[in-house]
Amino acid sequence: MDMLAKLSLPARILGLAIGIVLTVIGIGFGFAQGVSVQIIILAAIATMASFTWAWGFVLGQFAQGESTTADGISPLRRAWMAYRWPLLGLALILLAFIVLSLTVEGFFNIWNIISLIILLVILILTRTLGRQFQLNRSAFIGIMVLAGLFSVGSMNIEGFASGNNIKSMLLFASFLGIASIGQTLVALLGGLDLSIPFVIGAANVGLLYLMGLGVPPWLATLIVLGIGAILGAINGLLSYKLQGQALIVTLGTGFAISGGVQIITSIGSAYSGNVFGTVPAWLSNLSAMNGSTFGLPFPPVIAIWVVIALILILGLRLTVYGRFLYALGVNRTSASRLMISEMRYWVTMYTLSGFFAALTGSLLLGWSGGGFIGVGDQYLFLTLAAVVVGGTSLLGGAGGYGFTVIGVLVLQVLSSFLVGIGLDFKWQQFIFGLLILPMVALYARSPHIRTQI
């Protein structure tokens, strides 16, 4: 309670007042919706208690280090100035809760109140404990969000925490995770690769086409992966030559690749753009829901992702290549003084990006069993969102694949959660879009122009 002691009197009174108002509003809604009295009382106590605790705890954090402010401002105003951001945040969450309670029938129930409390607790924990993790704050926040989402989801949605659902979440997370490898590596350099979805689609269709031609499946897969890598290398070379325009370059090459592959697969075929063929059993087993890994009941693609992720995380931390990649991303002039070849790293990272995109495309073929050029479309921004939400800076040099893994999981659980509460893909897209902004604002704000002169 020594935290609370630091709070000024007006701040405490303000907090109490808001808490009471909120509780009364909650009780009002409860009665209006005809919820049983026990639940209302329980909810009211919970709201009141959690709010006052959160208020004191959060503001106590803010009060530290800001003890000396200029005199002459009224205490109320000073309290507002010091605590306006947590106040606004709390107000927003509560407002959303109230609005939802008002509009959605039966929203005001005990589970949702518990969810709200969990959300608040997570917010506060992130705010308070996050300070201890200066370096990996984004990862910490990501894990907290993940935990919160998962617990809220498992409470509210039936079957959310079931083994099957977790397996399917992991399966889709593996696809997204493998597709995001390239994006992460390229983002560490300060570039972007928007050709990933097109390569995924092209690999998906191209692999089936090759197998349809009678090429042995293993050879076809190798060819597709090789071509993916080569396309990546071209991307890297072009992006390096056209510094700072990687986004547009890769978008352009992506379109060209997608168009080109479709033309090739359409030649001599009556069904333009549609490719038919049979997917071999081993490829299906790799990424199908009911696949098995050495007898264990989960698809091998999850294992593949875990292995690649471990290699990458360790590789980025412990090998010369990994560290030089970071060096290049932070400061290319300094890196050139250490004789780190910029071009080589750009080409290599984009090559890897192309390779893993092609791999994702091939694995998706095993999952769906049929070729479709648009299979990668959603990865256009999902890979980027995973990187950004995880906390890898798009300016280069900060972050890592471990962060992206967290980002991937957050996105996957969130999307599963949204599906669970009945929101389909378009809503997910909308929410992901809005989610990117605050995440980037947390880690990658540009400095004010005053400081750049």
Partner 1 sequence: MSLTQPQETPTLGRETIAVRGVKKYFGPTRALDGASFSARAGEIHAIVGGNGCGKSTMAKVVSGILPIDGGSVSILGETPATPAESRALGISTVYQEVLVADESSVVDNIFMGSDRLFSKSMSQARKVERARQLMEELSGEVVDPYALVGTLPLSIKQWITIARALLSNPKILILDESSAALDFDSTERLFNKMRALRDSGATVLIVTHRIAELIRISDRATVLRDGRDVGVLDKHEITERNLLALMTGEDRSTRDITHAAPQPDTGERAMKARAISVWPNGRSFDFDLRRGEIVGIAGLDGQGQDAFVRVLAGVRPALNGLVQVADRSGAWSPVRTLAEAVAGKIAYVSGDRKREGIFASLSIFENMVMPLYRERKRAGILSLIDFQSLVATFRREADNLMIKFGVKEDRITSLSGGNQQKVLIGRGFAMRPDVIILNDPARGIDVGAKAELYKHLRSFAEQGKAVVYLSSEIEEFLGFATRVIVFRDGIPFDSFDGRALEPKRVLEAMFGQTDGAGLASSYGLVPKRAATAASQGTAARAFDGVRVRVEVPAEIKAAMKAAVDPPARQAASERFVVPEPTKLPFAPKAVRIVEFDSDGRRKGGGAP
Partner 2 sequence: MTVMAPNTPSLAGNAAEAQGGRSNPFLLMPITLFFALLAFAVLRSPNLMTSTGIGAAIIVATPLIMATYALMASVIAGRGTVDLSIGPLIGFINVTLVQLHGAGLLENPIAVFLYAMAAGALYQFLFALIVIYVRVQPIIVSLSGYLALSGINLVILPRPGGMAPPFMAEWGYGTTIFSPILFILLIASAAWLLFTATAFYTHLRLMGSDERAAYTSGVPITTVRIGAHLISGCFAGLAAICFTALISSGDPSQGTTYTLIAVTALVLGGASLAGGRGGVFGSALGAVNLYLITFCLSTFNFGAVQSFVTNLAYGTILVASLLLTLLIPVIQRRIRNFSPLLYFVALSVIVLGVILHATFDYAALGTVGATLPGALDMQAALVGPLEIATLDPATEALRLQAAPLVFGAVVLAVVAVFLRLAIGQSSRNSIGPAVAVILASLVLAGAWLMMREAQTSQTGQPEATASEGDG
**Binding of partner 1 by 398 (CB under 8 A):** yes
Contact range with partner 1 by CB under 8 A, out of 203-211, 313-321, 353-361, 405-413: 313-321
Q: Which is nearer to partner 1, 159 or 244 (CB)?
A: 244
293 close to 303: Cβ distance less than 8 angstroms:
yes
117 close to 46: Cβ distance less than 8 angstroms:
yes
97, two tokens: 């809760």
Backbone angles phi, psi at 275, to 5 degrees: -115, 140
**Residue window 355-394: x/- pattern of binding to partner 1, with contact defined by CB under 8 A:** --------------------------------------x-
Q: Which of 109, 181, 137, 133 is nearest to 408 (CA)?
A: 181
**Binding of partner 1 by 140 (CB under 8 A):** no
Q: Which of 238, 197, 204, 149 is nearest to 384 (CA)?
A: 197
12 close to 4: Cβ distance less than 8 angstroms:
yes
**Binding of partner 1 by 430 (CB under 8 A):** no
Q: How far is the CB of 444 from partner 2 (least distance, A)?
A: 7
Length, in residues, of the chain: 453
Ordered DSSP codes for 148-200: HHHHHHHHHSTTTTSHHHHHHHHHHHHHHHHHHHHHHHHHHHT---TTHHHHH
Residue from the set 10, 89, 260, 280 that interacts with partner 2 by CB under 8 A: 260
Q: Which is nearer to partner 2, 212 or 260 (CB)?
A: 260
Q: How far is the CB of 343 from partner 1 (least distance, A)?
A: 15
**Binding of partner 2 by 441 (CB under 8 A):** yes
**Binding of partner 1 by 453 (CB under 8 A):** yes
Ordered DSSP codes for 275-299: ------HHHHHHHSTT--BTTBSS-
Q: Which does 222 bind (CB under 5 to 8 A by kind): partner 2, partner 1, none?
A: none
Cα–Cα distance for residue pair 255/194, rounded to 1 Å: 10
79 close to 14: Cβ distance less than 8 angstroms:
yes
Backbone angles phi, psi at 299, to 5 degrees: -65, 140
Q: Which does 257 bind (CB under 5 to 8 A by kind): partner 1, partner 2, none?
A: partner 2
Contact range with partner 2 by CB under 8 A, out of 62-70, 396-404, 408-416, 432-440: 432-440
Q: Which is nearer to partner 1, 276 or 321 (CB)?
A: 321
Q: How far is the CB of 205 from partner 2 (least distance, A)?
A: 11
Q: What is the DSSP letter of 445?
A: P
**Binding of partner 1 by 73 (CB under 8 A):** no
Q: How far is the CB of 444 from partner 1 (least distance, A)?
A: 11
Residue from the set 334, 343, 344, 425 that interacts with partner 1 by CB under 8 A: 334
**Binding of partner 1 by 65 (CB under 8 A):** no
**Binding of partner 1 by 337 (CB under 8 A):** yes
Q: How far is the CB of 127 from partner 1 (least distance, A)?
A: 21
The C-alpha torsion from 7 through 9 and 13 to 18, rounded to 10°, is: -30
Residue from the set 384, 387, 405, 413 that interacts with partner 2 by CB under 8 A: 384
426, two tokens: 């378009």
**Binding of partner 1 by 68 (CB under 8 A):** no
Q: Which does 323 bind (CB under 5 to 8 A by kind): partner 2, partner 1, none?
A: partner 1
For residue 72, the Cα-to-chain-centroid distance in whole angstroms is 45
Q: Which is nearer to partner 1, 426 or 445 (CB)?
A: 445
Cα–Cα distance for residue pair 126/235, rounded to 1 Å: 39
Q: Which is nearer to partner 1, 164 or 451 (CB)?
A: 451
**Binding of partner 1 by 9 (CB under 8 A):** no
Burial class (CB in 10 A: 0-12, 13-18, 19+), 446: exposed
Supply the angle between the helices 196-213 and 217-241 in degrees, to the nearest 10. Answer: 150
Long-range contacts of residues 243-252, Cβ cutoff 8 Å, at least 24 apart: 246/186, 246/191, 246/192, 246/193, 247/192, 247/194, 250/192, 250/193, 250/194, 250/195, 251/194, 251/195
**Binding of partner 2 by 337 (CB under 8 A):** no
Residue from the set 321, 421, 425, 437 that interacts with partner 1 by CB under 8 A: 321
Residues in a beta bridge with 296: 293
**Binding of partner 2 by 249 (CB under 8 A):** yes
Binding site for partner 1 (CB under 8 A): 135, 318-321, 323-324, 326-327, 330-331, 333-339, 393, 397-398, 450, 453
Residues that bind partner 2 (CB under 8 A): 238, 241-242, 244-245, 247-249, 251-260, 262-263, 266-267, 272-273, 381, 384-385, 388, 394-395, 425-434, 436-437, 440-441, 444-449, 452-453
